[in-house]
């Protein structure tokens, strides 16, 4: 029987479906009887979904300063490293 601490360590990989089948199955069995771990998994998934949504919204806002493509190309082709 897995311990709660072990379930928590596998939680992210479990949500990403990145665990060997046996480990996955053992976690499922644990979740059937452990309310705290069920809640933790649910909240971690919610965290993941919320952060994903926030990151996407931010990325949409942050498409950034419209750097001049010509300028970037010119510098890259002349090989001048930016001044630091």
Partner 1 sequence: MDKGATESDPEWIAALRARDRAAFTQLVERYHAGMMSLARSLVGDAAADVVQDSWISAFRALPDFRGHSSLKTWLLRITANRAISHLRSRGVAAGESAPDGAPLDQRFDESGRWGQPPFPWSLDTPDALLASAELRETIARTVDALPPLQRSVLRLREAEGLDRDEICKILDISTSNLHVLLHRARVRLWRAIEAYQRSGDDAQV
Chain contacts with partner 1 (rule: CB under 8 A) = 3-6, 8-9, 11-13, 16, 18, 36-37, 39-40, 43-44, 46-59, 62-65, 67, 69-70, 72-73, 75-77, 79-82, 84
Task: Please state the closest distance from residue 28 (CB atom) to partner 1, in A.
Answer: 18
- Shortest Å distance, C-beta 18 to partner 1: 7
Question: What span, in angstroms and rounded, lies between the C-alpha atoms of 55 and 33?
Answer: 34
Note the residue count of the chain: 84
**Which of 28/42 has CB closer to partner 1?**
42
Pick 29 or 49: Cβ nearer partner 1:
49
């Amino acid at each position: 029987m897995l311990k709660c601490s072990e379930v928590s360590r596998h939680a992210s990989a479990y949500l990403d479906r990145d665990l060997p089948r046996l480990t996955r199955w053992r976690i499922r069995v644990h979740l059937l009887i452990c309310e705290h771990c069920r809640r933790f998994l649910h909240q971690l998934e919610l965290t993941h979904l919320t952060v994903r949504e926030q990151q996407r919204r931010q990325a949409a806002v942050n498409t950034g300063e419209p750097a001049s493509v010509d300028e970037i190309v010119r510098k890259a082709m002349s090989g001048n490293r930016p001044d630091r």
